Amino acid sequence: MTSAIGTFAGGRLADRNASGTLLVGNVVLVLALGGLYLSGPHPLLGAVALAAWGLVGMGITPSLQLRVISLAGEGGDLAATLGASAVNAGIASGAAIGAGTVAA
């Protein structure tokens, strides 16, 4: 739910100022992840930090896509695939590292 709200709100903010949304969103995202780390033993605080992570993490996606596509010029269609490619590379890398850790 928070991810969907973040995506819609992020799209509106990206229309106004994509660079500013990316800057503020990433700062808030770092704070949310830090809060998630620090709130480990407190479930309620952890839930708030997790909700903030979902809200802001998905909220910066439209701004990132808009900036990448606008900076790519004629290669905008190809550049639009970079976000999904990065996510898939992260998933594959995490799986490989996890498998290596379990095997060791």
pLDDT of residue 4: 87
pLDDT at res. 6: 86
Q: Against a cut of 0.85, is the pTM above it?
A: no
pLDDT confidence of residue 22 = 92
Q: Is 104 helix (H, G, I), strand (E, B) or coil?
A: coil
45 vs 35: CA distance, rounded Å: 8
Q: How far apart are CA 52 and CA 45, in angstroms?
A: 11
CA 104/CA 89 separation, integer angstroms: 22
Compute mean pLDDT per 10 residues along the chain, 104 residues long, and list them.
85 91 93 89 90 89 90 90 91 96 94
- Residue 104, amino acid: A
